[in-house]
Amino acid sequence: EAKRNGRNRHEHFTLAMDDVARSRRVIENDLREAISGRQLKLYYQPITNGDNKTIIGYEALMRWHHPIKGLIMPNDFIPIAEETGLIHMLGAFALYDACREAASWEGEQSVSVNLSPLQFKNSSLVSVVEGALQESGLNPSRLEVEITESVLLDDSLGNIRTLESLKALGVQIALDDFGTGYSSLSYLRSFPFDKIKIDKSFINDMGDSREALAIIRAITGMSRSLDIQITAEGVESSEQFAKLREEGCTLFQGYLFGRPQPSELRLKALS
């Protein structure tokens, strides 16, 4: 009996694995269609300065409007795009679309685009960025790319060269989700980042975790001497905002200031 149960469980497990693989393949095919069928859309979330809550820029965040499944969030499709190589197409779409969008704005706000570490494996990354800037006519200083620490981890020399080429175009470089993963302060010596974004988990925890607050303090303290701007992400309450200002954060992003919105709604919110 036990043996039979065991085998059953094993079969269930295999079936479940098949299901996972099958649904991945379905998503992969759907994602191919999404790119050509204009189902991918960038939403824009404001980034404000601390003094007068002026919007100094927007982060472009991708959304997938699936014809049947509805709204799909990036954490549910970016990993699949990365596994299947579709990330290069997706990434180029984000860069071109965000630059075009920002070039149409009245003001001089910047636009931030997330880059997957895998995009650094493609030798054409720099020319894709160049192409997006040229096609849109956007001043390069208004484009910011956000990378994560993992870009500095593997093949770091090649990737740092790529970052230097992007920098040479006049693009701003931000280190995203700082404090998570392998996080080492020594990364900050390997490249002159314009900005560091403190991961929202620290902002979320800072109210009741002394450790979270201590890490925020270490990051802001160091940034002062390195002359790097610090963005706090995931700011949801005015208490967090006040405390983060006190600690020396200079830029803020979070639901307190605005959620990611499609560009049509972004304009409505401004008027």
Give me the residues that bind ligand C2E (CB under 6 A), please.
45, 61-62, 73-75, 78, 91, 94, 114-116, 146, 176-177, 200, 233-236, 253-255, 260
| Spatial CA neighbour of 229 closest among 192, 200, 203, 255 | 192
110 forms part of the interface with Mg ion (CB under 5 A): no
Helices 238-247 and 210-226, axial angle in degrees (round to 10): 50
Where is 199: in which H helix or E strand?
none
Which residue among 110, 114, 231, 253 contacts Mg ion (CB under 5 A)?
114
Q: Which does 61 bind (CB under 5 to 8 A by kind): Mg ion, ligand C2E, none?
A: ligand C2E
Report in angstroms how near the CB of residue 66 gets to Mg ion at its nearest: 22
State which residue, 19 or 239, has the beta carbon closest to ligand C2E: 239
Helix (H) or strand (E) run with residue 127 in it: helix 125-136
Tokens 């379905």: give the residue. 26
Q: Is 182 exposed, middle or buried (0-12, 13-18, 19+ CB in 10 A)?
A: exposed
For residue 144, what are the β-bridge partners?
112, 172
> According to CB under 5 A, which one of 48, 172, 177, 249 is a site residue for Mg ion?
177
From the list 125, 146, 215, 228, which residue makes contact with Mg ion (rule: CB under 5 A)?
A: 146
Q: Are 246 and 230 in contact (CB under 8 A)?
A: no
Stretch 189-208 residues interacting with Mg ion (CB under 5 A): none
The one of ligand C2E, Mg ion, none whose footprint includes residue 21, by CB under 5 to 8 A per kind, is none
- CB-CB contact of 138 with 99 (8 Å): yes
Rg of the chain in Å (alpha carbons):
21
CA 251 and chain centroid, separation: 16
Decide which of ligand C2E, Mg ion, none touches 75; Cβ closer than 5 to 8 Å per partner kind.
Answer: ligand C2E
Minimum distance from CB of 75 to ligand C2E (Å)? 5
Is the Cβ of residue 11 or residue 135 nearer to ligand C2E in the bound state?
135
Which 213-252 residues touch Mg ion, going by CB under 5 A? 233
**Contact flag: residue 97 with Mg ion (CB under 5 A):** no
Which residues of this protein are in contact with Mg ion, per CB under 5 A?
A: 114, 146, 176-177, 233
